[in-house]
Structure 1
């Protein structure tokens, strides 16, 4: 004991039962704390690495999912392009075969034009059926049913049946084309990525089909078995049906769009099933645009269907005159792609007037200038100018029609427009029977003028109300 304080030595501590821990430099309290912090930091780094790895894996999965959705979207779009190709193939077929059908069945212009009337019944029936069937059965089932209708029609036509049966097949075919046309247009109009350009390319596929079919049907028109041409159409329609079944798998439009990475808003109850039918029929903009489409498609198919007869009878063209129809539809295809930038630069609404006036001017040249080559060139240029019009019409509809009935309305417009491919060619045939085929050009000029007036009545997108 010194100064009242007991000194504890190592020996004393052991003697008193107090264990002594040998404290080294690394065992000080501050160093122990550092060691714990280092351990915690290591755990945090490991956790961060695990989170980072998880995020990378998640991003990779999301990226793969996005790529898969994009690929599916492209496959869906190309499938619909093939469907429109077949619709164009169907419309471009009749021109080169019309004279041969008259010879085989011994019928005049008026009687052979009943083909267009029966097709019209099919188109109108398909347009009405589409509004109801889409809500009831869905996109995937309706579009496949339409393609099956085409298979049935072509299978009968292959056999060159009696004329009454032959023309009735055009009603079945009309229903099929109307349903597919309506569904394809409604689907593409609902896309969020570059819908205007995609609509133009979709209808360019139609023009490509209408360009290709006269090249083939012109060859069959001089064969003894001329109806065997429809075996080609039958093969294409079977392929189309298989593709639609595999790609869309009978699903409705919203489900197909979601699988392709599109954001789909919930459908409003007011626009479902039977209510959609009523709302479409009450929408003024839908009917104005539908009547424009009716006249436009009528002009398009009247030129494609009767221009070959005009060139043969009035301009003295030979058997190869059928290729002029291909020139027109080839121009249609080119115009729908090549003039997209012009539409955007000038404005879709204004550029329609320019195209219409130029087309009327060229029809005057075809009417008044008796030159076979000059007429052929002018017809092709008319095709270029008419080409962008229908895609512009569908784009316009997507801006002025309420979104809740947009798909049903575009289906009605497309299907009702297809009726023009029957009404106006029939009228042309009836007039030609009485006044001669040289009356074709004045009729086309009048139809184009009426079409221009209808376009002026189409509502401006700025006035849209949803």
Structure 2
């Protein structure tokens, strides 16, 4: 083996620094700039994530249109039908705490496929009008599946170059689902002299099966189990045993919960989703009972909000990325529909920049849990109050939630350049 003295090594280093190779310089000058566009494989994965959000939107957007039929067909009160929102929350809650542990065993494609399969099971159980307790449990299954798919879909897309645009796309797909859901649900529920509203769930069942196939195809390279990491030579020399997967999961959760940015982003989504789901969940019953609207026609109303949000998420993604978030929020967050459209994607984009990549998946899972807590808690509270005071209380409840949403956004810190450099890409 050839050897060099320390002096020679220093000399060689000095010469290399003083006189760089001309050939190397030419290669660097002629090197094509790195493409800012995602690869074909990445685009396929992004579109798969977008379709999974569409399926989730069909499920979430239809419940408001079906609530009047559910109340009358099952002969339950508004307080009892609110239990479906509680089941929703429990699914997201269980998803947040199980996600970190499952990620120690399942790779990305496996987690997304698991989420898609759970939603298919939920829709299959609903499509034959099961007893109300089982019908309620299906919302737990569906939200658990959504928790896995939404968390890992957002995590993957937020790591793609120009992520703010792609996040806007997948969340616009969610609103597209929320737009389509009420039309299909109302059309099915109002067909015939006797409402068979439950047959609507054959539609999300069908697209849910397509979702499973799309996820398997797009994420085939990560559709696998994770192998347990063998002890390295370094750990053996240090007489240390490698941490168990459960220890890793608990340490990630502990690190996540200590991050104040997780709580600040969560507070915003708590009120934001609370306002959104309270409006979409109860507006049809409000129009039927308070405004004496036709039950077969009022189911289309939530589509107006969803359509506005869809356009907002598509066309306002770039402006809200260019304008400082706090300034944009002060103007836009107080308005519904079109101007509220981009803020779910914007919140996820901001959170992705604030969170350390190591805990990003866990952090987003907790953010979604608190979002769903608001999305379940406020519709339940509205339903309980409506049971005694009437659905007319929807207006003051929504006004209060929108004010709280605006105020909570002001507490969200703006990402600094060094927070997560890999995500600050155009």
Superposition TM-score tier, normalisation by shorter sequence? 0.7 to 0.9
The answer on 1:230 being equivalent to 2:207 is no
Residue in 2 aligned with 1:302? 278
- Are the equivalent residues in 1 in contact too, given 2:64–2:280 (CA < 8 A)? yes
Q: Work out whether 1:321 is the aligned partner of 2:298.
A: yes
| Residue of 114, 117, 120 corresponding to 1:148 | 117
What's the CA shift for 1:178? Answer: 1.1
What is the 5 A alignment of 1:226-305? 226-249=197-220, 251=222, 273-305=249-281
How many residues align? The count is 367
Alignment partner of 1:88 out of 57, 82, 95: 57
Partner Cα distance (2:392, 2:367) in 1: 31
Aligned residues of 2:89 and 2:369 also touching (Cα < 8 A): no
Question: How many Å apart are 1:434 and its aligned residue?
Answer: 1.8
Whose helix fraction is larger, Structure 1's or Structure 2's?
1
Shift of 1:151: 1.0
* C-alpha separation in 2, matches of 1:122 and 1:456: 29
Of the three residues 388, 398, 402, the one matched with 2:356 is: 402
- The answer to whether the aligner puts 1:172 opposite 2:148 as a matched pair is no
The residue aligned with 2:183 is 215
| SS of the residue 1:148 aligns to | helix
Secondary structure of 1:447's aligned partner? helix
Distance in 2 of aligned mates of 1:342 and 1:190: 20
What SS does the aligned partner of 1:137 have? coil
Which residue number in structure 2 is paired with residue 9 of structure 1?
none
Tell me the secondary structure at the aligned position of residue 387 of structure 1.
coil
Whole-angstrom distance in 2 between the partners of 1:122 and 1:352: 30
* Structure 1 residues not aligned, in runs of 5+: 1-54, 256-268, 360-381
2:340 to 373, 386, 389: 386
Instruction: Please give the secondary structure, in 2, of the residue aligned with 1:462.
Output: coil
Q: Which runs of 4 or more aligned residues in structure 1 lie more than 6 Å from their structure 2 counterparts after TM superposition? A: 66-69
- Structure 2: unaligned runs, 5 residues or longer: 1-26, 227-242, 421-426
Task: Give the distance between the partners of 2:386 and 2:418, measured in 1 at CA.
Answer: 43
User: CA RMSD for the aligned pairs?
Assistant: 2.7
1:312 corresponding residue in structure 2: 288
Q: Deviations over 1:161-191 (max 9, x none)?
A: 1111111111111111111111111111111
Shift of 1:462: 3.1
* Aligned equivalents of 1:320, 1:338: Cα separation in 2: 29
Q: Which whole-Å deviations, capped at 9, do the CAs of 1:408-428 have from their partners, x for residues lacking one?
A: 212332343233332221111
In structure 1, the partner of 2:129 is 160
* CA distance in structure 2 between the aligned counterparts of 1:87 and 1:141, rounded to whole angstroms: 18
Instruction: Select the residue among 399, 403, 410 that pairs with 1:456.
Output: 410
Q: CA deviation at 1:385?
A: 1.8
- 2:344 & 2:176 partners in 1: Cα distance? 15
Conserved? CA contact 1:150–1:177, under 8 Å:
yes
Q: Which residue of 2 aligns with 1:128?
A: 97
- What whole-Å deviation, never above 9, does each CA across 1:308-362 have from its counterpart, x for those lacking one? 11222222322211111111111110111111243134322211121223x2xxx
Q: What is the TM-score when the length of structure 2 is the normalising length? A: 0.80
- Return the alpha-carbon distance in structure 1 between the equivalents of residues 177 and 38 of structure 2: 28
Query: 2:326·2:410 contact (CA, 8 Å) conserved in 1?
Result: no
Contact 1:119/1:170 (CA < 8 Å) preserved in 2?
yes
d(CA) in 1 for partners of 2:69, 2:204: 18
Residue 363 of structure 1 is matched in structure 2 by: none
Partner residue in 2 for 1:432: 386
CA distance in 1, matches of 2:321, 2:107: 34
Residues 82-134 of structure 1, C-alpha deviation per residue, up to 9 Å, x if partnerless?
00111111110101110000011101110111111111111111122222222
- Measured in 2, the distance between the counterparts of 1:177 and 1:327 equals 24
- Residue 293 of structure 1 and its aligned partner are, at CA, apart by 1.2
With the length of structure 1 as denominator, give the TM-score of the two structures.
Answer: 0.74
How far apart, CA to CA, are the structure 1 residues paired with 2:107 and 2:347?
A: 24
Post-superposition CA distance 1:252-290 (Å, at most 9, x none): 79x9xxxxxxxxxxxxx9995443222112211112212
The answer to whether the Cα contact below 8 Å between 1:187 and 1:407 also exists between their aligned partners in 2 is: no
> How far off is 1:400 after superposition?
1.8
> 1:399 touches 1:464 (CA, 8 Å); kept in 2?
no
Conserved 8 A contact 2:88-2:372: no
Bigger Cα Rg: 1
